[in-house]
Amino acid sequence: MNIYKEIEAEIQAAAHIVITAHKSADGDSVGSSLGLLHFIEKLGKKAVVCHPDKAPDFLYWLDTTAIILMDENPEEISAQMKKADLIFCLDYNATNRVGPDMQVLLEEATAKKIMIDHHLNPEDFPTLSVSETTASSTAQLIVDLIEQSGHLEVLDEKIGTPLYVGILTDTGSFRFNSVQAHTHEVLAKLLAAGVEHHLIHEQLNDTNTESRLRLQGYAMCEKLEILYEQNVAMISLSKEELAKYNYQKGDTDSLANLLLSIKGMKAAIVFKEKDGIMKISFRSKGEENPVNVLAKEHFNGGGHANAAGGMSDLTVAGTLEKLRELIPQYFSTHY
């Protein structure tokens, strides 16, 4: 029996299924959760989705009403986790990725745990595990689950749309080197199932607010710093600057990729201040310019080789100075 048939058997045997994903929700965590939820429903079973926090506003055109949030309904999530006999762990491979409050519930839960993920260095906590580090996204792996468990015929627009969103957002609109031939084969199956890709692109890309564009314009004009010797671009934003432009979650998500679009840039680093902590986004190009090591060794983070996250408890100025000192050690001098 392949791993996906084993997972299907666990779904069929379960009485109370909970789907979880990582803190700081993104397109892949939301998309894979909703896609799996709708697939489970097609199998005649029920499930609930429990996430640590709210998704960015640009994802709320998806039907997210089924998602229970830890930061809004902790008692409900606690009850769901205690009742669960099967818990899916999507798009994360370490229990601390769900945030401290939900981590306690996850680790105390007696349910079987199934991890479906594509990040490096997974922890050994699940009962069953699909850990495909070469996969473009967790959403892609959910499509593999649907097909390889023998249920491709149930794939429809409702299941496929959030999964397409997950693949699209986690690949930078299919531009990252994680996109392989199989990724496009999966996308073809989603389109054949009725997913309207052009409408998804419109929903994701044509929904800018005035304040978001003004914030991005300010960041690029006033806060852009380029370390020309290493071809690394950085932007830092304080809580005061964010407040001035009425920052909403997701407003800075495209900045790192925008910096990478500057000709010759090897890497981009964007960080913003939140609750006294600097939340850092690292992006890079090519196998020779990994950023996950820098994130892990100095900023309590990690992730993919070309897309990672981290944090700093220094000030904005202190974090910038630390980055300026470290970048020459991790990125070769440009000649």
Encode pLDDT of 131-190 as tens digits: 999 999 999 999 999 999 999 999 999 999 999 999 999 998 998 888 999 999 999 999
Last residue of a domain, one of 186, 205, 224: 205
Whether residue 335 has pLDDT greater than 50: no
* CATH number of residue 305's parent domain: 3.10.310.30
Cβ neighbours of residue 16 closer than 8 Å, sequence gap 6 or more: 80, 83, 84, 85, 86, 111
Phi, psi for residue 325 in degrees, rounded to 5: -75, -35
Same domain, 99 and 196: yes
Task: Decide: 240 and 263 in contact? Cβ < 8 Å.
Answer: no
Tokens of 250: 């997701």
Same domain, 162 and 57: yes
Last residue of a domain, one of 205, 237, 253: 205
Last residue of a domain, one of 150, 178, 205: 205
Same domain, 111 and 82: yes
Q: What is the mean pLDDT of the chain?
A: 94
Same domain, 12 and 129: yes
Same domain, 110 and 158: yes
What is the reported pLDDT for 56?
84
Tokens of 89: 């762990």
Same domain, 171 and 294: no
What letter would DSSP give residue 282? E
- Angle CA(161)–CA(135)–CA(257) in degrees, nearest 5? 75
Please write the tens of the pLDDT for every residue from 236-262.
999 999 999 999 988 998 899 999 999
pTM for the model:
0.84
Amino acid sitting at position 163? L
What is the reported pLDDT for 58?
85
Stretch 282-286: mean pLDDT, rounded?
A: 92
Count of domains forming the chain = 2
Task: Decide: 269 and 253 in contact? Cβ < 8 Å.
Answer: no
Same domain, 180 and 242: no
- Its domain, for residue 78, covers 3-205
Whether residue 217 has pLDDT greater than 80: yes
Whether residue 333 has pLDDT greater than 80: no
What letter would DSSP give residue 284? E
Please write the tens of the pLDDT for every residue from 61-109.
998 989 999 989 999 999 999 999 999 999 999 999 999 999 999 999 9
Same domain, 23 and 171: yes
* CATH number of residue 185's parent domain: 3.90.1640.10
Please write the tens of the pLDDT for every residue from 309-325.
999 999 999 999 999 99
> What is the C-alpha R_g of the chain?
20
